[in-house]
Amino acid sequence: ETGVTQTPRHLVMGMTNKKSLKCEQHLGHNAMYWYKQSAKKPLELMFVYNFKEQTENNSVPSRFSPECPNSSHLFLHLHTLQPEDSALYLCASSQDWGGYQETQYFGPGTRLLVL
């Protein structure tokens, strides 16, 4: 248990569906992140939120829409996805963004399959 939870753990969706991934951290952190992990590829940073404000959008397609209502919760809204979006989506949190020795703590991820 890292203190970061994600739901659902597994998701299968069609290309026309709309779904949302949820992340919650119980560590009192101020920064939260979304990463994409595809097989045999490096983790790719998607979005960064610091104190509920989006500070990074790593050229992510608009079919992925993040939402951060407070420092403990982070959502990733999905719509009209493509099969190549199938991957493990990881959420992480850290005390702050840009701190000297910031360690990011990861959730277990949501395994997404787009049909």
Nearest distance from C-beta of residue 79 to another protein, angstroms: 26
Q: 80: phi > 0 → left, psi -120 to 50 → alpha, else beta; which?
A: left
Q: Does 49 bind another protein (CB under 8 A)?
A: no
Query: Which of 65, 71, 95, 104 contacts another protein by CB under 8 A?
Result: 104
Rounded distance between C-alpha atoms, residue 66 and residue 34, angstroms: 9
Query: Which of 11, 74, 107, 114 contacts another protein by CB under 8 A?
Result: 107
Residue of 41, 47, 60, 51 whose CA lies nearest to 91:
47
* Sites of contact with another protein (CB under 8 A): 2, 4, 40-43, 45, 48, 56, 90, 97-98, 100-109
